[in-house]
Amino acid sequence: MPGWIDKQKNILDFTFSSILRRKGKNIALLLVYTLVVFLLASVMFLTYSIKREASTILKDSPDMIVQKISAGRHDPIPLSYLEKVIGIRGISSAKGRLWGYYYDPIIGANYTLMVPDHFSHGPGGIEIGQGVSRVRTTFPGDALDFRTWEGKVMNLEVKRVFSPESELVSSDLVLVSGEDFRALFGGSKDHVTDLVLRVRNPKEIPTIAVKIAELLPDTRIILREEILRTYDAVFSWRGGILILILAGAVLAFIILAWDKASGLSQEERKEIGILKAIGWETSDVLLMKFWEGMAVSLSAFLAGIILAYIHVFFFSSSLFEPVLKGWAVLYPQFRLVPFIDASQVVALFFLTVVPYTVATLIPSWRAATVDPDSVMRA
Amino acid sequence: MRKSTVFLIYIFSNIIFLAALGAHSFYQKEVARPWLAEKREMVRRLDLTDLCLFTEASYTRHLTQADGHVAFQDHPVSLEHFPSGSLLRPSSTMNRTHARLD
């Protein structure tokens, strides 16, 4: 065993001397390779942890949301619909939800205003998310002014700011009392934004949804399963810019591997010829080339994965921020929980390290099996 | 020091670092357990349906609640113009199929 290790170390020493003779080319190769792995792994870590977090958090979202659709658009729903729905067997709770958007012209951001079931602060008080607090530099005790539907200014006092840890669901949230909501947006007291239903037995959800659709044909029913599925499809690899990032990275990698597989430089062929002439076996030459491929690909893979983890989970994917932020004025600053899918890391290893190493071996094997004299003279 | 030794030290230190990141991931998941519970409780208490990922437009803020004509809802000639539209696929409620074909 020690003999075998010594042999590998000797070949590795020789391999590094050979790599360092073409220092510029190999360093450039290593950097590009690391960048490709870094990009792929960053996208992988970011999308997987968002999906996992969404599926964990949204597990307790309502079983069913009933929206009224009028002329193809979401309309306030009459409370009389609630009375019709509540009689359906299997529904454990049904209530109206009051929520909407408020455009703040001072900073140009949109807030989500919502009325909770039990609001302890009463009229005049609000609870706000960290994002709202940050963009308006407002803290408990301060007042925020809103413009009502009649154009009047309404001052509401901030009673509480949600914790930074909850920013992924509450960053732009403003909780108000029912009275203040109606004063802000007007509208009839007999209408709410939508209906929220909870069902006793989850297996009955599709049957109940069909019953509601028959009973209230001008409504749209959104099931929790669809909510979860939407977030599972968010950042799908097939969607939008992600496929461009992935396609770019994969194409760059194919060019790298292609360059290696398509042949050796004159200098490399001569080197193999000399090694064969001084007594190296074909297997030794292949071992050297294997270590060369491994040295580049394994170093790049490990560095790329580590940098991607640091980028996503320590620096909140700051390189992707301009894309993620878009035109949003109020952008949630959340730190993702590092959910890692080991199978994805293993797949990335087999997609990057193995093909490159194999691509290095094939032309070397071809050169190593030709007569050394002809290789050196070519 | 031999070049091979330097290389092996580099690879092993990377593997140790990677293992440390694995431990960090495990530890952070434990640390985040109460925060996740807090968010889950908030979702249950307020009947929330969406994550606050993109606040630029109503239909990117509440992906699951947007109506079926979201790309055109802001203006008659308004095609999908928000950058986050390039990251998201349409809500699954817009893609109902009669049968699974794939």
Per-residue pLDDT band for A197 (boundaries 50, 70, 90) equals: very high
For residues B41 and B73, state if they share a domain: no
Residue B101 belongs to a domain? no
Residue B10 belongs to a domain? yes
Looking at chain A, which residue has its C-alpha nearest residue B96?
A226
Q: Is A124 left (phi over 0), alpha (psi -120 to 50) or beta?
A: left
The answer on pLDDT for A165 being more than 60 is: yes
Count Cβ neighbours within 10 Å for each residue of A206-241 and write b for 16 or more, e otherwise.
eebbebbeeebeebbbbbbebbbbbbebbbeeebbb
Question: Which candidate from A13, A54, A116 shows the least CB-CB separation from B51?
Answer: A54
Count Cβ neighbours within 10 Å for each residue of B49-59 and write b for 16 or more, e otherwise.
bbbbbbbbbbb
Question: Which candidate from A12, A58, A170 shows the least CB-CB separation from B52?
Answer: A170
The CATH class that applies to domain A77-192 reads mainly beta
Question: Which candidate from B29, B49, B56 shows the least CB-CB separation from A61?
Answer: B49
Shortest CA gap B82–chain A (Å): 7
Looking at chain A, which residue has its C-alpha nearest residue B88?
A234
pLDDT at res. A290: 87
**Across residues B12-38, what is the average pLDDT?**
93
Please tell me whether residue A120 adopts helix, strand or coil conformation. Answer: coil
Residue B27 belongs to a domain? yes
Instruction: State how far the Cα of A11 lies from the Cα of A18, in Å rounded to an integer.
Output: 10
| Contacts of residue B23, Cβ cutoff 8 Å, sequence gap at least 6 | none
Torsion over CA: A115, B35, A43, A314 (sign): positive
Tell me whether residues B61 and A112 touch, CB distance under 8 A: yes
Instruction: State how far the Cα of A43 lies from the Cα of A41, in Å rounded to an integer.
Output: 5
Q: What percent of chain A has pLDDT over 90?
A: 39
Which chain A residues contact residue B11 at CB under 8 A?
Answer: 298-299, 302
Instruction: State how far the Cα of A114 lies from the Cα of A360, in Å rounded to an integer.
Output: 60
Please tell me whether residue A69 adopts helix, strand or coil conformation. Answer: strand
Would you kindly state where each structural domain of chain A is located, as residue ranges? 2-58+234-377, 77-192
Backbone angles phi, psi at B23, to 5 degrees: -65, -40
pLDDT at res. A82: 92
Mutate to test the interface with B, among A199, A337, A346 (most CBs of B within 10 A): A337
Instruction: State how far the Cα of A354 lies from the Cα of A298, in Å rounded to an integer.
Output: 9
For residues B63 and B41, state if they share a domain: no
* N-term to C-term CA, chain A: 39
Shortest CA gap A359–chain B (Å): 21
For residues B43 and B82, state if they share a domain: no
Tell me whether residues B28 and A313 touch, CB distance under 8 A: yes
Looking at chain B, which residue has its C-alpha nearest residue A18?
B3
Looking at chain A, which residue has its C-alpha nearest residue B27?
A338
Count Cβ neighbours within 10 Å for each residue of A59-87 and write b for 16 or more, e otherwise.
ebbbbbbbbbeeeeebbbbeeebbeebee
* The model's pTM: 0.84
Tell me whether residues B4 and A295 touch, CB distance under 8 A: no
Boundaries of domain holding B11: 1-48
Residue B100 belongs to a domain? no
Tokens for B92?
């699954």
Shortest CA gap B78–chain A (Å): 16
A 10 A CB-CB count for B98 gives: 5
Per-residue pLDDT band for A4 (boundaries 50, 70, 90) equals: confident
Tell me whether residues A240 and B86 touch, CB distance under 8 A: yes
The answer on pLDDT for A58 being more than 80 is: yes
| Contacts of residue B70, Cβ cutoff 8 Å, sequence gap at least 6 | B59, B90, B91
For residues B62 and B83, state if they share a domain: yes
Residue pLDDT, tens place only, A12-56: 888 888 888 888 888 888 898 899 899 889 988 988 898 899 999
For residues B62 and B39, state if they share a domain: no
Mean pLDDT score across all residues of chain A: 87
Looking at chain A, which residue has its C-alpha nearest residue B25?
A338
Looking at chain A, which residue has its C-alpha nearest residue B9?
A299
Shortest CA gap A194–chain B (Å): 10
Asked whether A192 and A97 are in contact (CB, 8 A), the reply is yes
Tokens for A168?
């992924």
> Which helix (H) or strand (E) covers residue A147, if one does?
strand A143-147
pLDDT at res. B102: 44
Shortest CA gap A73–chain B (Å): 6
A66-80, A249-263, A315-329: range with lowest mean pLDDT = A249-263
Tell me whether residues A298 and B4 touch, CB distance under 8 A: no
* ipTM for the whole complex: 0.81
Residue pLDDT, tens place only, B27-83: 999 999 999 999 999 999 999 999 998 888 888 888 888 776 665 555 444 455 566
pLDDT at res. A15: 86
Considering its fold, how many domains does chain B have in total? 2
pLDDT at res. B85: 65
A1-15, A90-104, A172-186: range with lowest mean pLDDT = A1-15
Torsion over CA: B38, B65, A317, A321 (sign): negative
Q: Judge residue A322's burial from the number of C-beta atoms within 10 Å of its C-beta, 0-12 exposed, 13-18 middle, 19 or more buried.
A: exposed
For residues B6 and B39, state if they share a domain: yes
Tell me whether residues B89 and A175 touch, CB distance under 8 A: no
pLDDT at res. A116: 93
Cα A338 to chain centroid distance, Å, stands at 11
* Residue scoring higher pLDDT (A52 or A364): A52
Which chain A residues contact residue B80 at CB under 8 A?
Answer: none
pLDDT at res. A246: 76
Residue B53 belongs to a domain? no
Tokens for A332?
């949630």
pLDDT at res. A135: 92
A76-80, A267-271, A292-296: range with lowest mean pLDDT = A267-271
pLDDT at res. A309: 95
Task: Fill in the DSSP letter of residue A25.
Answer: H
Instruction: State how far the Cα of A334 lies from the Cα of B55, in Å rounded to an integer.
Output: 14
Mutate to test the interface with A, among B74, B92, B95 (most CBs of A within 10 A): B92
